Amino acid sequence: MDHVGIESAAPVARAEGDGDFKVTDAAVGQIVRLTQKRKAEGKATEAIRSGVRGGGCDGFSYVFEWADKPAGKHDHVLEFPDGAGGTVRMFIDKKSMLYLKGTTLNFVTGLMGHGFKFENPNVKGSCGCGESVQF
């Protein structure tokens, strides 16, 4: 779905086969920029941890934060090409992957700002503020 004022990029499909989770070129590029900034500040950049957790007005909210430690035994480790011969890594716990199957992570820019956006076909509803979702 195209929105006026929002840039979109073609999804970069994940190479492994235990669920469809995609990340657009725009999202990979932004993660690379944030990783470089974080490294310059001397902070750990093991991966991005993503998932869902209970909470918010509609029952669940998305997790999107830095993982400073290696993946745990309950994590899926996803790697996406960064276009420069490297990879961007993401950790998603197995329970969250059930809710995120078929999701595309995008980075959007528009008149109202910019940010990462989960385009999740499993969502049944969301709150007015856009911070929580219902499955």
Instruction: Render pLDDT for 66-75 as a digit per residue (tens, 0 to 9).
Output: 998 888 899 9
The CA distance from 20 to 7, in Å, is 22
Please return the burial class of 47, using the count of CB atoms within 10 Å of its CB with bins 0-12, 13-18 and 19+: buried
Instruction: For 22-64, write each residue's pLDDT tens digit.
Output: 999 999 999 999 999 999 999 988 999 999 998 777 688 889 9
Domains delineated in the chain: 21-134 (2.60.300.12)
Predicted model pTM: 0.78
**CB contact set of 48 (below 8 Å; sequence gap of 6+):** 31, 64, 65, 66, 67, 88, 89, 90, 91
